[in-house]
Amino acid sequence: MSSGTGRTVGVVVGGDPVDRAMAGELPTFDYVIAADSGLHAAQRLGLRADLLIGDLDSVDRELADGLGVKIERHPRAKDQTDIVLALERACDAAADRVVVVSGGGGRLDHALANVLVLASPRYAHLQVRAHVGRARVDVVWSQLTMTGDPGAVVSLFAVDGPAIGVTTDGLRYHLDDAVLESLSSRGVSNEFVGGPASVAVADGTLLVVRPGDEQPAASPARQHTPSREASG
């Protein structure tokens, strides 16, 4: 169950440089936790970190000292990743809602771990969302209402077993009391039809991913054609 405090905790993690425009999409945080180099991302977004946590192997210690942020340092060889440590402190801070913020990028294994850990049953009492670059990821244990422009892509993934009784509304491909198997691609690339949309699940856990605007495709490299002089 929720703690009932209505507290929103931000967890800022490292990665590619965050777009400052992301700040306008974030809620007001009651408490901000920076996981290691997430301190730099928090500063870029204009967020004041209340706690810096992790092994601090990629953070500017002078910056941390200058900001006067509380520091909880852990050894580099540890069982939990920095984001898990941060999520645990978010629970300690009596959060009802946790929003993870990252510029994305980095190692694929880290990126997967950072998203999948959000769906741990340990956090089922929380509202959990992640902003990863241009993408948004919501963890749904019951129901989610969201909005998107017509044609905007949204994908549903069952994690930790099948998602049973999945029902959608306001999406192009309607699901009615459906079963999404874990590791299945059935829920990939649905689309908003305009206005609010909803996703509900009777039993199980869903990751609802809105990938956001796609990067423009790179122009193909121009083929080099030898000059007549060179070919002669």
pTM, full prediction: 0.86
Burial class (CB in 10 A: 0-12, 13-18, 19+), 149: exposed
Query: Looking at residue 110, what is its pLDDT?
Result: 87
Residue for token digits 């994908």? 155
Domain ranges of the chain: 1-133, 134-214
Query: Looking at residue 144, what is its pLDDT?
Result: 98
134-214 maps to which CATH number? 3.40.50.10240
The answer to whether the beta carbons of residues 15 and 104 sit under 8 Å apart is yes
Give, in words, the CATH class of 1-133. Answer: alpha beta
For 183-226, the pLDDT digits (tens) are: 899 999 999 998 899 999 999 999 999 998 654 434 444 444 44
Burial class (CB in 10 A: 0-12, 13-18, 19+), 86: buried
For 49-83, the pLDDT digits (tens) are: 999 999 888 888 788 888 889 999 998 878 888 99
For 10-40, the pLDDT digits (tens) are: 999 988 888 888 888 999 999 999 999 999 9
For 5-17, the pLDDT digits (tens) are: 689 999 999 888 8
Q: Do 1-133 and 134-214 come out as alike in CATH topology?
A: yes
For 96-137, the pLDDT digits (tens) are: 999 999 998 888 998 899 999 999 999 999 999 999 999 999
- Predicted confidence (pLDDT) at residue 91 exceeds the cutoff of 90: yes
The answer to whether the beta carbons of residues 51 and 69 sit under 8 Å apart is yes
